[in-house]
């Protein structure tokens, strides 16, 4: 497949990729192309998030109305189509899923059909009057209305119904996190519109985000695949843990009893419930359980490890786990599933590193959200960490979260002086190359794989 570069390779990559997972009839509608919608994604999600309260519906749909990259569902759909190119005899992990996951519902040896129990692979399990607590005049399920033109299109492209629903779920989870983040960060804009907390208010934004997560959880359960349910649900918990890592950096602020820049002391635990962090966490080198004096290099390395893990939890987890889920639903073998997961992880880390660069180089108008937001929020991202490695004195600014007059300006100057942006770009390219390697090891050649490669390459050159 031949791709032609334009002035914006990122926009071109998204539009080209979207054409592979969007019915031609919808592509003829220029309105859908303006926001790069994949097969009326927002319309389908709107049916999933419908509630009985009009105001909740309006704020729940608010971010879906605006122009956005929709990169996460696009990746799921493209990857799903690329996975369908793997011959069925090489997708023999089907014993862990039911035959409703496969187009035309073929019967595989040793595969138990659930079609007698579930006619619709994404339909309700419990009676609707119980789910909604009321008996409607017309028994329609607002959570499972399909788009009329999708089944035949998806069948022809090898996209499974559950993979299409997975793409919608992923965008719901991501959008819920945006509603919450904008409240936490006191943001005033998102995608060139007033943010949800400004257009409505903080309480409604938080509740709408919670509602989206609740609706997403319902849709996750209806995928009826325990492994995918576990992965997707864990990605929600990962988002929260990553946000906490950002709110309280335990490497730079190791005192567990203090929060809010060490100005507020929290209650001591009673011991009735265990509160120790699990082993999958980042900590400073210690001796006999006590933090000891470490070198500047060790401190910076620990800060980088903390930053990378936080980035995985906040950004790469949802992408990587959704890519892994798409591969599981396809019945692919373990090595393919693992490469799909690593692809999403490496691409997610690359994506965030580029975001960190753009925060320094682009204006608020170009980004569609506030520029220099990370420094103003006191966050130490990759560019300033690279500068800190060269200039230990920056540790004091990072420690106080750039709160004193002139700290932000000094940080910007030091980042440019020590080529923090260039070094961050090199690290992003490293993750991009790993993601490309994962794609080539997991998938046969196809238009969809080429589109994924093109999209991956475009991540490092995007400008918003």
HSE value, Cβ hemisphere, 13 Å, CA-based, for 174: 23
pLDDT of residue 139: 43
Q: Identify whether the C-beta of residue 326 lies closer than 8 Å to the C-beta of residue 76.
A: yes
Domain ranges in the chain? 9-128+143-459
pLDDT of residue 157: 72
HSE value, Cβ hemisphere, 13 Å, CA-based, for 455: 28
pLDDT of residue 75: 92
Q: Identify whether the C-beta of residue 206 lies closer than 8 Å to the C-beta of residue 243.
A: no
- pLDDT by 10-residue block (mean), the chain, 464 residues: 52 77 54 39 77 87 78 91 90 57 36 39 66 59 49 70 90 94 89 89 94 92 89 95 91 86 88 86 63 78 94 96 95 95 97 94 63 85 96 93 92 95 97 98 93 91 84
Q: Identify whether the C-beta of residue 398 lies closer than 8 Å to the C-beta of residue 378.
A: no
| CA 245 to the chain's CA centroid | 17
Q: Identify whether the C-beta of residue 234 lies closer than 8 Å to the C-beta of residue 245.
A: no
Torsion sign, CA atoms 175, 177, 183, 188: negative
Q: Which helix (H) or strand (E) holds 291?
A: strand 290-291
Contacts of 413 (CB under 8 A, 6+ apart): none
Separation CA 65–CA 45 (nearest Å): 11
pLDDT of residue 237: 94
Separation CA 380–CA 388 (nearest Å): 10
Separation CA 375–CA 355 (nearest Å): 13
Separation CA 228–CA 213 (nearest Å): 16
pLDDT of residue 463: 82
pLDDT of residue 302: 92
Is residue 331 classed as helix, strand or coil in its secondary structure? coil
Separation CA 374–CA 92 (nearest Å): 46
Separation CA 99–CA 225 (nearest Å): 12
Judge: domain 9-128+143-459, CATH 1.10.600.10.
Answer: yes
For the packed helices 150-157 and 161-184, what is the interaxial angle rounded to 10 degrees? 110
Nearest-5° angle of CA 201, CA 205, CA 371?
Answer: 85
Is residue 290 classed as helix, strand or coil in its secondary structure? strand
pLDDT of residue 145: 47
Q: Which two tokens stand for residue 57?
A: 């519906």
């Amino acid at each position: 497949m031949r791709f032609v570069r334009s002035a914006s390779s990122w926009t071109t990559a998204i539009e080209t990729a979207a054409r592979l997972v969007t019915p031609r009839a919808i592509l003829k509608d220029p309105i859908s192309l303006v926001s790069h919608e994949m097969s009326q994604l927002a319309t389908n999600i709107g049916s999933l998030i419908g509630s009985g309260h009009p105001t909740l519906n309006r704020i729940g749909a608010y971010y879906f109305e605006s122009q956005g990259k929709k990169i996460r569902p696009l990746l799921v759909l493209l990857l799903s189509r690329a996975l369908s190119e793997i011959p069925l005899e090489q997708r023999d992990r089907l014993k862990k899923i039911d035959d409703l996951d496969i187009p035309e519902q073929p019967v595989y040896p040793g595969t138990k059909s659930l079609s007698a129990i579930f006619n619709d692979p994404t339909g309700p399990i419990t009676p609707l009057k119980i789910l909604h607590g009321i008996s409607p005049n017309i028994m329609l399920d607002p959570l499972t209305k399909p788009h009329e033109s999708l089944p035949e299109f998806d069948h022809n492209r090898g996209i499974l119904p559950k993979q299409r629903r997975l793409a919608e779920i992923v965008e719901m989870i991501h959008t819920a996190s945006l509603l919450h983040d904008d409240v936490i960060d006191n943001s005033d804009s998102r995608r060139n519109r007033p943010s949800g907390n400004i257009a409505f208010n903080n309480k409604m934004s938080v509740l709408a985000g919670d509602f989206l997560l609740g609706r997403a959880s319902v849709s996750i359960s209806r995928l009826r695949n325990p492994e995918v349910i576990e992965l997707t649900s864990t990605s929600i918990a990962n988002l929260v843990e990553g946000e906490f890592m950002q709110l309280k950096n335990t490497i730079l602020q190791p005192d567990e009893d203090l929060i809010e820049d060490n100005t507020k002391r929290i209650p001591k635990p009673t011991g009735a419930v265990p509160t120790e962090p699990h082993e999958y966490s980042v900590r400073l080198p210690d001796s006999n359980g006590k933090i000891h004096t470490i070198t500047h290099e060790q401190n910076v390395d620990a800060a980088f490890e903390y930053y990378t893990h936080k980035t995985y939890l906040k950004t790469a987890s949802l992408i990587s786990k959704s890519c892994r889920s798409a591969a599981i639903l396809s019945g692919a073998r373990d090595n393919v599933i693992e490469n799909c997961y690593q692809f999403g992880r490496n691409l997610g880390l690359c994506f965030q590193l580029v975001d960190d660069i753009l925060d320094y180089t682009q204006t608020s108008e170009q980004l569609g959200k506030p520029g220099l937001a990370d420094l103003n929020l006191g966050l130490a991202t990759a560019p300033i960490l690279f500068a800190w490695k060269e200039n230990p004195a920056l540790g004091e600014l990072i420690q106080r979260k750039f709160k004193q007059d002139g700290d932000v300006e000094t940080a910007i100057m030091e980042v440019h002086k020590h080529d923090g942006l260039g070094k961050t770009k090199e690290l992003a390219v490293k993750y991009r190359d790993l993601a490309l390697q994962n794609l080539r090891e997991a998938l046969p050649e196809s238009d969809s794989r080429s589109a994924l490669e093109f999209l991956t390459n475009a991540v490092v050159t995007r400008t918003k």
